[in-house]
Amino acid sequence: MATIGFIGLGNMGGPMAANLAKAGHSVQAFDLSAEALSAATAAGCRQAESAQDAVKGAAMVITMLPAGKHVKSLLLEGDAPLFEHLEDGALVIDCSTIDVHTAREIAAAAQQRQIDFIDAPVSGGVGGAQAGTLTFIVGGSAEQYATALPVLQAMGKNIFHAGEHGAGQIAKACNNMMLAILMAGTCEALSMGVKNGLDPAVLSDIMKQSSGNNWALQVYNPVPGVMDNVPASRDYQGGFQVDLMYKDLGLAMDLSQQSASATPMGSAARALFNLHKSQGNGGLDFSSLIRLYQ
Ligand code: NAD
């Protein structure tokens, strides 16, 4: 069992750190939020005083932060960049969803300092983080992937090696663009059915057994009351914020521009989430997009 520094204990990082502790690892946890820190302590992690304190004696360091600027500033910038506080031979695993450019920039800076760093964004939502069934998509060398694997297996079920540094973030951007399109389509179809007199639970069951079946219908229904234990049934609190989905769609649009890939559906989904966010819904779960249609 390893000593692991874990930084970023939000909706995703909190349950991921808890699963590492449950698996017997010694987890030194840090977050800027006192509330997130005390939840991690209650789940068996040791509360670190700072990010620098969290990485003391750690063979692995996991970051789960909102965006590229947070990861870069923690690892490379400021008075006490974390890259200068790591133990020799420590592997840094960034599980945040960030832009490919920043992921590669950090990987290059790590290589210069002979530090091991991989991008390992996740899919599966808060439910997957809690259940320890996340999908991890790793960008890095085969050796780094092999070192990370046993620790990632304590938090996830499917662990993929997508390719070299940055490849994990590219795959994640493709996946989340698809997810946004599927969620928008699911909201649109369910709203049309309800406006035409159908029960959303019945319509969801029909589509789940038909060609419209998708992940949102299976585990993340956007209509309140259709499923227990999803954000829609707790006023869209917790889960995956509209702000974060909007960020991810921005990452996908950057990629599409850089590679001259046509993404009209991704672009339409981004416009929808932008409209929803501009109406003050950035802090709600992304399935709240259905309110745009009601
Ligand atoms: P969140 O906002 O709930 O958590 C982020 C946490 O990071 C917060 O607790 C915040 O206090 C902390 N933080 C920010 N800067 C910090 C710093 N410098 N030092 C220590 N702590 C700091 O976000 P989340 O939903 O947990 O998402 C985290 C990442 O995972 C994002 O990149 C997101 O896109 C990705 N993601 C989220 C989901 C989901 O369903 N929520 C699913 C897959 C991927």
Query: Which residue segment(s) compose the domain that 79 sits in?
Result: 3-164
Task: Name the average pLDDT for the chain.
Answer: 97
What does the pLDDT look like over 131-181, one tens digit per residue? 999 999 999 999 999 999 999 999 999 999 999 999 999 999 999 999 999
Pocket test for ligand 1, best of 12, 62, 74, 236 (most atoms within 8 A of CB): 12
Domain boundary (164, 190, 210) is at 164
How far does the centroid of ligand 1 lie from the alpha carbon of residue 240, in Å? 9
User: What is the CATH number for 144?
Assistant: 3.40.50.720
What does the pLDDT look like over 43-79, one tens digit per residue? 999 999 999 999 999 999 999 999 999 999 999 999 9
CA gap 68, 94 in Å, rounded: 10
Domain boundary (105, 138, 164) is at 164
How far does the centroid of ligand 1 lie from the alpha carbon of residue 252, in Å? 19
Q: Are 38 and 84 members of one domain?
A: yes
Pocket test for ligand 1, best of 32, 76, 85, 98 (most atoms within 8 A of CB): 32
How far does the centroid of ligand 1 lie from the alpha carbon of residue 98, in Å? 11
- Within 6 A (CB) of ligand 1 lie 7-13, 30-33, 36, 51, 64-66, 70, 74, 96-97, 122-123, 125-126, 239-240, 244, 248
Q: Are 157 and 251 members of one domain?
A: no
Q: Whose CA is nearest to atom 34 of ligand 1?
A: 97
Average pLDDT over residues 267-286: 98
Atom of ligand 1 nearest to the CA of 74: 18
Q: Are 139 and 180 members of one domain?
A: no
CA gap 85, 162 in Å, rounded: 29
Give the pLDDT score at 256: 97
User: What is the CATH number for 179?
Assistant: 1.10.1040.10
How far does the centroid of ligand 1 lie from the alpha carbon of residue 89, in Å? 26
Q: Which amino acids are annotated catalytic?
A: 172
CA gap 131, 156 in Å, rounded: 8
Q: Percentage of the chain surpassing pLDDT 90? A: 97
ipTM field: 0.99
Residue type, 206: I
Q: Where are the beta strands (DSSP E) in the chain?
A: 3-7, 26-30, 46-47, 60-63, 91-94, 116-119, 122-123, 134-139, 156-163
What does the pLDDT look like over 116-128, one tens digit per residue? 999 999 999 898 9
54 touches 5 (CB < 8 A) = yes
Question: What interhelical angle do 100-112 and 242-258 show, nearest 10?
Answer: 80
For 122, the token pair is 């996740």
Q: Are 134 and 206 members of one domain?
A: no
